[in-house]
Amino acid sequence: MTQSQHATQLIQKPSRALASARLLLEAADTDGACNRAYYAMFDAARAALASETSPEAARTHNGLIAAFGLRLVKTGRLPKELGRMLNRAEEVRLLADYTGGVVERQDASELLSQAETFVGAVRGYLEGTGAARDA
């Protein structure tokens, strides 16, 4: 599988995660909504990186976030705000999934909105590179 094909395959996953996040938020499951919103962003970031590097260059969440920042944000290919969104999403997901902290509905809704923006921006980037034309 080529890098472009792998990126095209990966960019299809965020749509399902965003749909799940919307449903979970409607059901008042803010933790679940944050988890799915983060994974929409995570998979979009994986797709963007897959268009640039070997498919599994980053093996951890922190590694992927760092690689996204270094290879796509710091190089100016994608806006700095996307890097900040991804970092913030990971913080909220860790709170929701592991600490037992409470994520307010407004915060979960904001994260979902940012995830939609993030995925849209990455999709646009990939379409510009030819890696997501069929996605």
Task: Give tens-digit pLDDT for 72-88.
Answer: 999 999 999 999 999 99
5-47, pLDDT tens digit by residue? 777 788 889 999 999 999 999 999 999 999 999 999 999 999 9
Q: Is the dihedral of CA 122, 118, 42, 8 positive or negative?
A: negative
What is the reported pTM? 0.89
Q: Quick one: pLDDT at residue 59? A: 79
Q: Quick one: pLDDT at residue 133? A: 44
Alpha-carbon distances of 25 from 37, 55, 60, 73, 127, rounded to whole Å = 10, 31, 27, 29, 29
